[in-house]
């Protein structure tokens, strides 16, 4: 069970032993206090929150040599919980009731437990269970996967909650074992030995750990077994729909994963939906609209805007941030699911301590304090008017002092993580690329029916670059006029690429680039680029100041009428999205650009049409290339544009640009993966990394053209 390649540390400290002893003692104390004749909420919560805080303090960055110790300690802690269940816990009565209803009628949905109070068909041993079901006026809210689980445990144990305890404990131990396959034992112990994790699974009987276990197993399986991963993600969503927040992760693997997830989830709901009694969405709607308990960020929105606007705003804010966190991730393994579920909780109208089970497994190994500090903070939400028997408080109103302490703990932990991120996240500057003593530039000019302009463009490029121009390649992209002849007459090398598309033409041109070429310049063939600026664009590359230089029309001078309104809008929107997602500032998507050959090799360019320019800029941002923009002029083109000249062209180009941004943000559906890098930063910065840069550009270009 040891992590591959792990060097087991020698444990000279007794801290982890003390932590385990404290967890075991705390769980035993919770069992005793929770089942006492007179329930003391203050004592119970002091043990619950205090033990969680102590466990985190003792285990934080504490090495443990043997992973079996972590798993055995977690198993022992769960075993302690099997003695009894605290009397104030009542959620599991609904689980038992749902299990019976599923076995009896095939579905627990559509009928509130309250309707069965006088039903003589209810067995005698279920009467006590029915009397303890919470919120009996509402039909069940729990998902289809949980209903199958409840039915199975009822069939084996009937009203005895031991079946649920054993199941939830077993699933959590399986999750601990999976965590140990990926992380060091010391970091896993933060989760496995946390009193909140133990209590909220097999003592308080909350099924949320099933969601986390399915998601974590799905992440582990995503690369090699995408269909199985999709089924696991659907299983998690069938436990609670909040798991859908993790589904964009599936876009980073083959499409089969997402298809399997959707098909499995739909099938699980259809089993119950076809019986005509719904699937609990009416209760879900009531929960979303009216439940209000222990909120954090939502409370601020509620105070400022009222509950209707607050709930809509909180949903929108959480959704946008979740998508942003997914988009910024580099790989399946890099998706910050702990932060994603944390954002959902931040804006949720109701926050319970067991919701932390969604995120804690994904916080393991990330060196973030806030998720584990939350295990000491959120248990304080049990101090309500109901548990304290305080007439000054509403039944589910959290005591103000408990709220203050809760917020203080969370705020301090978030601040500590922010400080740690600032100290460790600073990019280490690296020496700039080596200046090129005698630059060899290859200019690639895609052309489609540009007979009137291409000759002049070729001549202007030659005049602007002079001796540094080593190759001038015009790609005839299926022209029906004399474009090829005009280009040859002006002195260009012409290659034919019958497959239409700007990217296809650029890739075809790259197949002719000589191995000794240093810089590749891309130029439009319609006469719109101010080609006397070509030297200014390649100069930063020659000087070693940049890897990619964009000729910015926005920063330069655009001739009136040269750009349409849709072009200007798209030219503003796409760079804005790139800045929001990857933190790199562009002002233009201009096709007049130059890039060092070794930098282009890292980008593995593949787009075949309108997405070529934005793909290059996004991948440059993701790879941490040094990017510069040089002001350039932009004139009215000769002839009619194939893109901005038609409504169809504008729509297709805009759609493709947004698609490429989305594909690069959320996954490329199995296309060739980019080399992993941690250096994508702002312009002028990069992180230290070691990457080979062989002469593979022609090979990659040929492969992309032929794929």
d(CA 127, CA 122): 7
Q: What is the pLDDT of residue 649?
A: 57
Q: What is the pLDDT of residue 10?
A: 52
Distances 189 to 206, 207, 441, 617, 672 between C-alpha atoms, Å: 21, 21, 57, 42, 37
Q: What is the pLDDT of residue 702?
A: 43
Q: Is 629 exposed, middle or buried (0-12, 13-18, 19+ CB in 10 A)?
A: buried
Q: Give the pair of three-digit tokens for residue 130.
A: 């029915």
Distances 564 to 569, 643, 659 between C-alpha atoms, Å: 9, 11, 21
Q: Nearest to residue 248, comparing CAs of 668, 666, 670? A: 666
d(CA 239, CA 656): 36
Tell me how crowded residue 127 is: count the other CB atoms within 10 A of its CB.
Answer: 12
SS (H, E, C) 588-629: CCCCCEEEEHHHHHHHCCCCCCCCHHHHHHHHHHHHCCCEEE
Q: Which portions of the chain are predicted below pLDDT 50? A: 1-7, 9, 644-645, 670-696, 698-707
Q: Give the pair of three-digit tokens for residue 626.
A: 């040094």
Q: What is the pLDDT of residue 689?
A: 28
**Which residues does residue 628 pair with via DSSP β-bridges, in sequence order?**
549
Q: For 609-655, how does the pLDDT look when each residue is reduced to its tens digit (9 = 90+)? A: 888 999 999 999 988 899 999 999 887 766 555 554 455 656 777 78
Strand order in the sheet with 548-558: 493-496, 469-476, 441-447, 519-522, 593-596, 548-558, 627-634
Q: Helix or strand or coil: residue 502?
A: helix
Q: Is the pTM of this model over 0.85?
A: no
Q: What is the pLDDT of residue 656?
A: 85
d(CA 326, CA 188): 24
Give yes or no for a contact between 398 and 75, defined as CB atoms under 8 angstroms apart.
no
Going from the N-terminus, what domains does the chain have, and what CATH number goes with each? 441-668+677-706 (3.90.550.10)
Q: For 580-618, how does the pLDDT look when each residue is reduced to its tens digit (9 = 90+)? A: 999 899 999 889 999 999 999 999 898 888 889 999 999
Q: What is the pLDDT of residue 39?
A: 87
Distances 645 to 163, 310, 486, 523, 524 between C-alpha atoms, Å: 69, 44, 23, 19, 15
Give yes or no for a contact between 143 and 211, defined as CB atoms under 8 angstroms apart.
no
Q: Nearest to residue 477, comparing CAs of 455, 506, 448? A: 448
Q: What is the pLDDT of residue 674?
A: 40
d(CA 613, CA 567): 14
Q: What is the pLDDT of residue 590?
A: 86
């Amino acid at each position: 069970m040891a992590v591959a390649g792990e060097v087991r540390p020698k444990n000279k400290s007794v801290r982890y032993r003390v932590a385990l002893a404290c967890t075991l003692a705390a769980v035993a104390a919770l069992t005793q206090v929770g089942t006492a004749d007179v329930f003391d909420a203050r004592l119970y919560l002091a043990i619950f929150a205090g033990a969680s805080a102590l466990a985190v303090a003792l285990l934080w960055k504490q090495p443990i040599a043997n992973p079996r110790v972590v798993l055995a300690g977690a198993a022992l802690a769960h075993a302690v919980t099997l003695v009894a269940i605290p009397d104030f816990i009542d959620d599991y009565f609904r689980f038992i009731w749902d299990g019976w209803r599923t076995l009896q009628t095939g579905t627990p949905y559509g009928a509130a437990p309250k309707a069965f109070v006088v039903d003589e068909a209810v067995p005698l041993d279920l009467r006590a269970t029915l009397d303890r079901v919470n919120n009996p006026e509402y039909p069940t809210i729990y998902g289809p996967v949980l209903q199958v689980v409840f039915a199975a445990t009822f069939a084996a144990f009937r009203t005895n909650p031991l079946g649920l305890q054993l199941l939830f404990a077993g699933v959590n131990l399986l999750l601990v074992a999976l965590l140990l396959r990926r992380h060091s034992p010391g970091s896993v112990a933060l989760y496995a030995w946390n009193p909140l994790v133990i209590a909220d699974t097999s003592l308080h009987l909350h099924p949320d750990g099933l969601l986390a276990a399915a998601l974590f197993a799905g992440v582990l399986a995503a690369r090699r077994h995408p269909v199985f991963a999709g089924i696991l993600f659907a299983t998690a969503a069938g436990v609670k729909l909040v798991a859908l927040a993790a589904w964009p992760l599936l876009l980073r693997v083959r499409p089969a994963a997402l298809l399997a997830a959707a098909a499995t989830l739909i099938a699980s709901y259809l089993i119950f939906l076809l019986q005509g009694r719904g699937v609990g969405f009416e209760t879900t709607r009531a929960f979303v609209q009216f439940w209000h308990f222990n909120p954090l960020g939502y409370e601020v929105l509620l105070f400022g805007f009222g509950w209707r606007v607050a709930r809509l705003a909180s949903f929108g804010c959480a959704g946008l941030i979740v998508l942003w966190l997914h988009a910024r991730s580099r790989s399946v393994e890099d998706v910050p699911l702990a932060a994603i579920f944390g954002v959902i909780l931040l804006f949720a109208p109701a926050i319970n301590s067991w919701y932390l089970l969604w995120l804690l497994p994904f916080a393991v190994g990330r060196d973030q304090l806030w998720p584990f500090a939350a295990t000491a903070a959120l248990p304080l939400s049990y101090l309500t008017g109901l548990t304290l028997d305080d007439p000054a408080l509403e039944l589910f109103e959290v005591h103000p002092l408990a709220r203050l302490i809760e917020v203080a703990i969370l705020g301090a932990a978030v601040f500590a993580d922010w400080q740690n991120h600032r100290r460790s996240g600073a990019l280490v500057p690296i020496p700039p690329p080596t200046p090129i003593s005698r630059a060899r530039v290859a200019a690639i000019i895609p052309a489609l029916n540009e007979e009137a302009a291409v000759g002049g463009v070729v001549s202007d490029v030659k005049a602007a670059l002079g001796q540094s121009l080593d190759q001038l390649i015009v790609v005839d992209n299926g022209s029906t006029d004399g474009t090829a002849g005009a280009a040859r007459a002006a002195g260009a090398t012409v290659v034919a690429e019958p497959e239409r598309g700007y990217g296809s033409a650029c890739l075809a041109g790259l197949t002719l680039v000589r191995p000794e070429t240093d810089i590749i310049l891309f130029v439009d063939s319609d006469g719109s680029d101010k080609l006397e600026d070509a030297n200014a664009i390649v100069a930063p590359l020659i000087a070693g100041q940049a890897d990619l230089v964009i000729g910015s029309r926005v920063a330069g001078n655009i001739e009136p009428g040269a750009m349409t309104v849709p072009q200007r809008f798209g030219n503003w929107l796409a760079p804005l999205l790139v800045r929001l997602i990857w933190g790199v500032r562009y002002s233009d998507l201009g096709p007049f650009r130059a890039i060092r050959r070794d930098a282009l090799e890292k980008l593995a360019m593949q787009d075949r049409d309108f997405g070529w320019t934005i793909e290059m800029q996004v991948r440059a941002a993701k790879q941490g290339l040094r990017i510069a923009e040089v002001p350039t002029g932009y004139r009215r083109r000769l002839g009619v544009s194939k893109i901005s000249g038609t409504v169809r062209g504008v729509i297709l180009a805009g759609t493709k640009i947004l698609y490429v941004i989305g594909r690069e943000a959320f996954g490329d559906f199995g296309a060739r993966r980019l080399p992993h890098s941690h250096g994508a930063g702002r312009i002028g910065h990069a992180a230290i990394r070691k990457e080979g840069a062989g002469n593979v550009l022609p090979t990659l270009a040929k492969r992309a053209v032929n794929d």
